[in-house]
A and B are shown apart, each in its own frame.
Chain A
Amino acid sequence: MKTSFLILLCKLLRLAGKMVGKGSSLPGRVILKLDPNILQKIKLPEQIVAVTGSNGKTSTVEMIAHVLQSNGKKVAYNKEGSNQIEGVTTFLLNDCTLSGKVKSDLILMESDERFARHTFRHFTPTHYVITNLYRDQMTRNGHPEWVYDIVGESIHDGTHLVLNADDPLVSCFGLGRKNVTWFGVDRLPFSTDRNTSLYNDGRYCPNCKAPMEYDYYHYNHIGSYHCTQCELHRNDTAYTVTDASLEDSYIVINGKYRIDLSFSGIYHFYNTLATFAICNLLGVSGEDIVSSLNRYTMKSGRIVNFTAGEKEGTLLTSKHENSISYDQSIRVAVQDKRDTTVTVIVDAISRKYYTSETSWLWDIDFELLAADSVKEIILTGRYCNDLAVRFSYCGIAPEKIHVIEDIGEAVTYMKDHAPGYQYVITCFSDKDKFLDKVERRTEE
């Protein structure tokens, strides 16, 4: 079938899909059925940037797009989160002229780590940013080394890698490679000498399984490490956070580029750093990146401030089945020295597939919530009893913990009785079940 016809068909299907509020993967799926090699027949821009990793890729892609666009580049990117091959096909064809030329200067894509090997069969990224590989949704991803192998299959020799030097597993992608740019965070006041998490995936070298040694940790297995047997070590970084403050929410890159962030958290430091690195490599000056990123507010709205009756609070969107994202949210809650109540909701473990798997609760550092500032804990949702079992091992007085299966009743309890500022920690899959019962104020 003629390419121009397929492009037109894709655009029409996308338009129709938008009118009925359908997702963006269907048009691509239809076109790929008609011509599985369609992506090799269109003329792609010279720069193709892919971003992958367990956590933060959506935010990072959003920030990269923002910086590039505010500096005059026309960017095609899959902002709808349609990061599988069908979605990618839709967004590329949608951006094509009928003669088959992608109009944008640059393609930017969030690549689902499990599907990268399928997507990049059709075209090769010129730049590949890999943010981190953690324990994430293991009910479908298996485990981080399994994902590492899959991502590895999608990396081509000519692709320039932009890698997180502080993540030992990600660093393995750079072994024996020249075209790599490293980014990382220097030792800072919040770094620790010891691993403080409940498990340590940096204990043994991902390359040879000999013990690893760390000079310091930023969180979990992210930090400065070297293997006691093989050459794996934290590489010197071209892009470095040389100073930062969690309290005052800023980072300084390479000693001179200060970026004020609209929300804090070491996570977000890394996403911002990765954004800086790739945008600078693509030719945007440090000064211009700073002015685009200063006080930038994410559109993805992961932090929602709300009012519940008389109570003020913040919902911190985390990911079920991803202990590091929970750990980060818990840290935000316990950094607040006011009196607080922390609510954890686990109702549907995923919105995309069904599972009752709750093993991941044992990887989350809920012990941190034994802090004095946390006056009460509310556990709610279908899996509130799994949470209650887990919380009975956290050193928290049982009378502080309220287990209320029904989310509506939990909200009523919160309005009537919960002391202090409210933090709610839950996943995309469950957050609206809570937010629909309170008043949303602002989103960040």
Chain B
Amino acid sequence: MKLLFLYYNLMNLYGEIGNMRVLERHLRDQGLEITIVGKTLGDELDFSQYDFVYAASGTERSQKVALRHLLQYRDSLAQAIERGVPMLFTGNSFEMLGSSITDANGTQHQGLGTLPFTTTEQGQTRYVTDAIATCELIEAPVVGFVNKCSICEGISSPLFHLSMGCGNTPDTQEEGLYYRSLLGTHLIGPLLVKNPALMEWMVNRIGERQEGFSYRPKRYEYEEKAYLATYTALRERLPENKK
């Protein structure tokens, strides 16, 4: 199976390479043969070749350059999304999927237009916060961290419901987007590493693409303990749990 790490050397701001390193091992643990392909600016893209697509966070300026490049391949990407290829877009990479991104100077950049939402950045404040979220994909709450300077409006199918963190707009608890097998979220960093249940969900979605796949349960002791340590620490900080 081929996994694509898109803009691996441009959009990897928050240790997000961790997602790919750990995902690769977990898929191999399922007996799957895995090749990771890195593509970046200047490369030709053909999304029909991949069983999984990952894109991560970049600076606001890097994101605009990536977007300009990716616009050439929007149809190929849109088709892969419609076919249900599993994809994960963390941080501001998922903003590219909308119809436009307006930067802090007020310049509007055309988006891929895959989904009908818009993004607006500002240059004064960043929304930085730990996050706890739930989603319909898995039972366990998800932990993570938001680090962004943008708001996204018009997302009709959010991925997460937050009990801590900053949503697509500051006044909502709805976060990210979920469409077919595409997950987009501003929970940055190695999200799959931090959330073993979400990792398992993703491993299943990718594995299912191979005929005859059935999930073999496997324990990842340190990942599970790390998740519990973070979840416990964050839960204590929820307003209803503070003494």
Contact = CB atoms under 8 A, between A and B. Distances in A.
Given A142-B126, A203-B10, A382-B229, A360 B222 contact: no
Contacts of A357: 130, 145, 189
B93 to A, nearest CB: 14
Contacts of B178: none
Contacts of B143: 356
Contacts of A359: 14-16, 18, 145, 188-190
B226 A139 contact: no
Contact of B222 (A206, A356, A392): A392
Interface string A202-224: 01101001010000000000000
Contact of B12 (A138, A139, A199, A355): A199
B15 A362 contact: yes
B28 interface: no
B237 A393 contact: no
B2 interface: no
B16 A356 contact: no
Interface stretch (A143-151, A274-282, A312-320, A408-416): A143-151
Nearest to A140: B128
Given A142-B149, A360-B15, A389 B223 contact: yes
Q: Which of A140, A142, A144, A392 has the most CB of B within 10 A?
A: A142
Interface string A270-311: 000000000000000000000000000000000000000000
B147 A142 contact: yes
Given A358-B194, A382-B229, A138 B234 contact: no
Contacts of A355: 130, 145
A356 B233 contact: yes
Interface in B108-138: 123, 126, 128, 130
A360 B237 CA distance: 22
A408 B21 CA distance: 32
B131 to A, nearest CB: 10
Given A200-B9, A359-B188, A383 B15 contact: no
Interface in A333-382: 354-363, 382
Given A139-B147, A383-B229, A362 B222 contact: no
A142 B188 CA distance: 11
Interface stretch (B59-67, B166-174, B208-216): B59-67
Q: For the side of the interface on A, what is the size category? A: 35 or more
B149 to A, nearest CB: 7
A388 interface: yes
Contacts of B226: 358, 383, 385-386, 388-389
B194 A143 contact: no
B140 interface: no
Contacts of B61: 145, 206, 209
Contacts of B59: 143-146
B39 to A, nearest CB: 14
B189 to A, nearest CB: 3
B217 to A, nearest CB: 19
Interface string A398-442: 000001000000000000000000000000000000000000000
Contact of B18 (A139, A143, A354, A362): A362
A198 interface: yes
Given A209-B61, A356-B230, A356-B233, A139 B15 contact: no
Contact of A389 (B13, B42, B128, B193): B193
B202 interface: no
B10 A361 contact: no
A209 B65 contact: yes
B17 interface: yes
A404 to B, nearest CB: 12
Interface of A: 135, 138-140, 142-146, 149, 198-200, 203-204, 206, 209, 211, 354-363, 382-383, 385-386, 388-390, 392-393, 403
29 contacts: A135-B13, A138-B14, A138-B147, A142-B126, A142-B128, A142-B149, A143-B13, A144-B59, A204-B41, A209-B41, A209-B61, A211-B41, A211-B42, A356-B143, A356-B145, A356-B233, A357-B130, A357-B189, A358-B194, A358-B226, A359-B190, A360-B15, A361-B18, A383-B229, A385-B222, A385-B223, A385-B229, A386-B226, A389-B226
Given A142-B126, A358-B230, 20 more contacts: A138-B147, A145-B59, A146-B60, A146-B149, A199-B9, A204-B10, A204-B62, A204-B65, A209-B41, A211-B41, A357-B130, A357-B145, A358-B189, A358-B194, A358-B226, A359-B14, A360-B15, A389-B226, A392-B222, A393-B25
List the 9 closest pairs (A to B, CB-CB), nearest first.
A359-B189, A362-B15, A362-B18, A359-B15, A385-B226, A385-B225, A388-B222, A145-B59, A209-B65
